[in-house]
Structure 1
């Protein structure tokens, strides 16, 4: 039975973000994470022996 729920619609599979935007988003998130690490390092300075805090 043709046309009964078998309609072939052309589905356009396209990423919502282009690679450039994805890269920018990743950079922003990375900056956020880094700033959080810095803030934690500042607040907890001398409190934890976390090597990552001294690395930055």
Structure 2
């Protein structure tokens, strides 16, 4: 099973991992790489943080 992580503020910034920890580490790296690109959008000054867990 793969766990998918995404950053909704950055369109298309998605990653995955075999564990929650791996998925979080991978999305952190994806965010860093995304922000290094020339197409990186200006980030909003305020945003909401939410977390959801789905068990199948």
TM-score computed with the length of structure 2 as normaliser:
0.39
Report which of the two has the higher share of strand: 2
- Specify the structure having the higher radius of gyration (Cα): 1
TM-score computed with the length of structure 1 as normaliser:
0.39
